[in-house]
Chains A and B, each alone.
Chain A
Amino acid sequence: MNDETLASKESTEADNQPLAQKLPSKASVMQLIDALLKKPRDFFHHVQYEDFSLTNSLKLAFIALIGLLVYGVIMGSFSGNIQWIASPLKIIIGTTLTALLCYPSLYILIALSGADLRPGQIGILLTSSIALTAILLLGFAPIAFIFTFSIQTLPFMGLIHLILWLGSLYFSLNYLSKGLTQMGSKDVSLVKFWLTIFIITLLQMSTTLRPILGQESYLLTTEKKFFLHHWIESLEKAR
């Protein structure tokens, strides 16, 4: 038996083994954060065997909400005034809308990739992935906070936030991809294709809901703009 076959067999055996420590059906917020960060395999196991309670799912959504809210407040502190409230609200609404827009295509692409997951299981996975993004953003919050009071120009502040968001998304989407592989996805390219769509939609959403970081005379605009175009314009304005 070659190494690859052996590794694959061991991995399957590990997946089928009962969990050393089962996640309670009414797990605390800290237990859920712990599972997301330290024991993703156990987490996927619970989702795969439909052993993940509604209470825990709602708690995951709550974690995501709090994480995004806190990070949003820090983003809003760059401009102050109404942005203290508008930024966190826009961050929460934007992320939720992006997830809702991309959910149907995620469901179909997961099924096409060969995994046998129900819409509810995919919903939990997506929520947990967003919760992980929010947790990581919360971890990055002190860094963002320090930069907020050091940087003077809007494009540079935007760049810092972009780097922190992309860093968080890298880990959380990687987590999602690993979870799907563990749950039977055979074609990772389809999942990666969806991840690209998700990131582009999220970036476009940030432009749709502008201004999130800077301050304008309006709270929302109906003017249509592609996100790259918006970034270039912001750079030119700052020069």
Chain B
Amino acid sequence: MKPRSGSNKVVPLLRALAALSAVAILACWISLGAHMGWSQTRVPVQRTDAVTASTFTDYEERFLPGVDFLVAGLLGSAAIFALTLVMPNSKAGTRR
């Protein structure tokens, strides 16, 4: 098989990168809790004070990705893929 030349090499690489990043972002979002709200950098945790029996909210300093993270990540992957469609010498538009 002859090696491809110029952007013909870059196009499949970029498409692989787009697919990989989409999968990684989806996996990251699911594994960290699949939070359906906005991303959080401090996560509320309910605690109870033993002396007063009061329940109060404390925060854990950690990142919880939300749907904004998911959408932004998938849009970024889609943008990389879209870039390959408009690259010169790309045959993506003509080939199936």
Chains A and B form a bound pair: no
